[in-house]
């Protein structure tokens, strides 16, 4: 791996020889910034489908659990004991050491003040950061990236998804790319030396257009392509013996790690994990939930190992649109509920703790007598992480209409 400085220097030299104009502004600024600090990066993983928080982090000492979930309750022996009351699902086994080393915190009973049980609406509200309001133009992560106030690089805000997620809708230029190796201009082989380089031809055209936006963006694009060498992406080997799971999530996190280490200025990264809508046969120590948990847990753990010394500059947070019913349904699964839990990982996280309130699961303590009540507004957590890690103001600009408190969980 290159050091960030060396890389930028090499990139800048390459630029001079290849373009007619000067070095793009962002590159100069980034090069200057590189001498002082590595950027802070926030990585968010959206768990689509609504994770069963009670299964992920089970209050195993609560006797109500077995009554509510005769077939799928996790007992003390099934889980990894975190604090004598809560236990981590065995699928998340690889996250347990991070909890023990106080880098991983859990917030339980987190959710939205809006009571919708629609995936679509609840995801929308969580991603815009404005529960109950659908018309919000931007996503909260886009606002967070914008509030950092840095000149953007092409990789400042990246979603490793095929379409732009709602979280990154907005004015700040964000990039959605499902595979970094496909980033670039295709060449049109006409058979050997005879071919025109489409990339070079187009670069010349964009350099000379009279339309400023096309000219500027064109320049940035061709620079980005040079920075992000396909060969390097393909041949990237994770450090410290990290092994990423083969699925989409693992590969996305691996590419995010690559972007972080390449010094391309990534500040906000987004990816997602699918399949949490466990209405049927969700299983216990094995089965559907276990498989999802294992992929998520192992991907995060591999990512963290891979980062090594970069850990100090990265925070990772999971989120899911709502939780699931406290009681199991007739199909051995759970239905749409309210509160769930999330993981926050980072060296400045005050980890090793389960934050938030989970009441004893007696029916009268449940929301609508069936769901885990939302005791922590998700914005209390998101704004804490954004303000402490990305150093952005956590006020109304980040979460319009929110004036609630922040949950202190980072130094």
Closest CB 329 distance from another protein, rounded Å: 11
Q: How many residues bind another protein (CB under 8 A)?
A: 65
What is the contact mask toward another protein in residues 319 to 338, using x (rule: CB under 8 A)? -----------xxx------
What b/e sequence results for 367-390 when a residue is b if at least 16 CB atoms lie within 10 Å of its CB, and e otherwise?
beeebbbbbbbbbbbbbbbbbbbb
**By CB under 8 A, what part of segment 223-282 binds another protein?**
224-225, 280-281
Per CB under 8 A, the list member of 32, 209, 357, 405 interacting with another protein is: 209
The answer to whether 182 contacts another protein (rule: CB under 8 A) is yes
Residue whose CB is less far from another protein, 312 or 396: 396
Per CB under 8 A, the list member of 12, 28, 185, 239 interacting with another protein is: 185
Closest CB 306 distance from another protein, rounded Å: 24
Count of CB atoms situated within 10 Å of the CB of 255 = 22
Residue whose CB is less far from another protein, 79 or 159: 159
The answer to whether 200 contacts another protein (rule: CB under 8 A) is yes
Q: Provide the 3-class DSSP secondary structure of residue 332.
A: coil
Closest CB 35 distance from another protein, rounded Å: 24
Closest CB 219 distance from another protein, rounded Å: 10
CA-based nearest residue to 333, from 273, 275, 274, 277? 277
Q: Provide the 3-class DSSP secondary structure of residue 30.
A: helix
114, 131 contact by CB (below 8 A): yes
The answer to whether 184 contacts another protein (rule: CB under 8 A) is yes
Q: In whole angstroms, what is the distance from residue 114 CA to residue 122 CA?
A: 8
Residue whose CB is less far from another protein, 61 or 115: 115
Residue whose CB is less far from another protein, 196 or 243: 196
52, 282 contact by CB (below 8 A): yes
263, 8 contact by CB (below 8 A): yes
Per CB under 8 A, the list member of 84, 149, 191, 241 interacting with another protein is: 191
Cα torsion 221, 225, 226, 228: sign = positive
Residue whose CB is less far from another protein, 3 or 208: 208
Q: Which two tokens stand for residue 212?
A: 């400023």
Residue whose CB is less far from another protein, 87 or 165: 165
Residue whose CB is less far from another protein, 76 or 205: 205
Burial class (CB in 10 A: 0-12, 13-18, 19+), 61: middle
Per CB under 8 A, the list member of 63, 135, 149, 241 interacting with another protein is: 135
The answer to whether 166 contacts another protein (rule: CB under 8 A) is yes
DSSP codes of every residue in 344-397: EE-TTB--S-EES------GGGSBTTTB----EEHHHHHHHHHHHHS----STT
214, 232 contact by CB (below 8 A): no
CA-based nearest residue to 390, from 146, 28, 152? 146
The answer to whether 84 contacts another protein (rule: CB under 8 A) is no
- The helix or strand, by DSSP H or E, that contains position 110, with its residue range, turns out to be strand 104-111
Pairing of strands 175-176, 157-159: parallel
The answer to whether 164 contacts another protein (rule: CB under 8 A) is yes
Of the candidate spans 130-138, 257-265, 296-304, 382-390, the one that interacts with another protein by CB under 8 A turns out to be 130-138
Count of CB atoms situated within 10 Å of the CB of 189 = 9
What is the contact mask toward another protein in residues 275 to 314, using x (rule: CB under 8 A)? -----xx-----xx--------------------------
Closest CB 69 distance from another protein, rounded Å: 17
Q: Cα–chain-centroid distance for residue 33?
A: 24
Residue whose CB is less far from another protein, 149 or 330: 330
Q: In whole angstroms, what is the distance from residue 139 CA to residue 398 CA?
A: 9
The answer to whether 204 contacts another protein (rule: CB under 8 A) is yes
Residues at the interface with another protein (CB under 8 A): 118-121, 124, 128, 132-137, 154, 162-164, 166, 169, 173-177, 182-198, 200-202, 204-206, 208-209, 211, 213-215, 217-218, 220-221, 224-225, 280-281, 287-288, 330-332
């Amino acid at each position: 791996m290159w050091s960030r400085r060396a890389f930028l220097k090499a990139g800048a030299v390459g630029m001079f020889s290849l373009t007619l104009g000067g070095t793009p502004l962002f590159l100069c600024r980034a090069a200057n910034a590189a001498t002082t600090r590595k950027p802070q990066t926030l990585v968010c993983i959206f768990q689509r489908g609504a994770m069963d928080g009670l299964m992920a982090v089970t209050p195993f000492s609560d006797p109500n659990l077995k009554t509510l979930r005769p077939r799928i309750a996790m007992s003390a022996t099934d889980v990894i004991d975190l604090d004598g009351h809560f236990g981590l699902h065995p699928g998340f086994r690889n996250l347990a050491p991070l909890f023990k080393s106080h880098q991983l915190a859990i917030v339980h009973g987190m959710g939205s003040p809006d009571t919708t049980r629609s995936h679509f609406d609840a995801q929308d509200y969580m991603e815009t950061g404005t529960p109950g309001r659908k018309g919000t133009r931007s996503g909260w992560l886009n606002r967070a990236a914008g509030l950092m106030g840095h000149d953007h690089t092409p990789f400042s805000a990246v979603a490793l998804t095929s379409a732009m997620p709602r979280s990154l809708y907005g004015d700040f230029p964000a990039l959605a790319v499902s595979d970094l190796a496909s980033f670039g201009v295709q060449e049109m082989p006409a058979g050997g030396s005879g071919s025109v380089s489409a990339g070079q031809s187009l670069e010349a055209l964009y350099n000379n257009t009279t339309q400023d936006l096309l000219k500027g963006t064109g320049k940035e694009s061709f620079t980005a392509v040079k920075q992000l060498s396909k060969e390097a992406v393909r041949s990237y080997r994770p450090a410290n013996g990290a092994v990423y799971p083969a699925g989409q999530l693992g590969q996305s996190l691996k590419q995010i790690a690559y972007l972080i280490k390449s010094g391309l200025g990534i500040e906000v990264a987004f990816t997602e994990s699918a399949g949490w809508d466990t209405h049927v046969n969700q299983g216990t120590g094995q089965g559907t939930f276990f498989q999802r948990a294992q992929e998520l847990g192992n991907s995060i753990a591999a990512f963290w190992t891979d980062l090594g010394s970069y850990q100090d500059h990265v925070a990772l947070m999971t989120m899911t649109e709502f939780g699931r019913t406290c009681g199991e349904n007739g199909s051995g699964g759970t239905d749409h509920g309210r509160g769930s839990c999330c993981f926050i990982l980072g060296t400045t996280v005050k980890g090793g703790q389960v934050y938030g309130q989970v009441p004893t699961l007696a029916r009268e303590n449940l929301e609508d007598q069936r769901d885990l009540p939302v005791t922590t507004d998700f914005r209390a957590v998101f704004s804490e992480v954004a303000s402490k890690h990305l150093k952005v103001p956590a006020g109304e600009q980040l979460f319009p209409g929110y004036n609630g408190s922040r949950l202190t969980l980072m130094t």
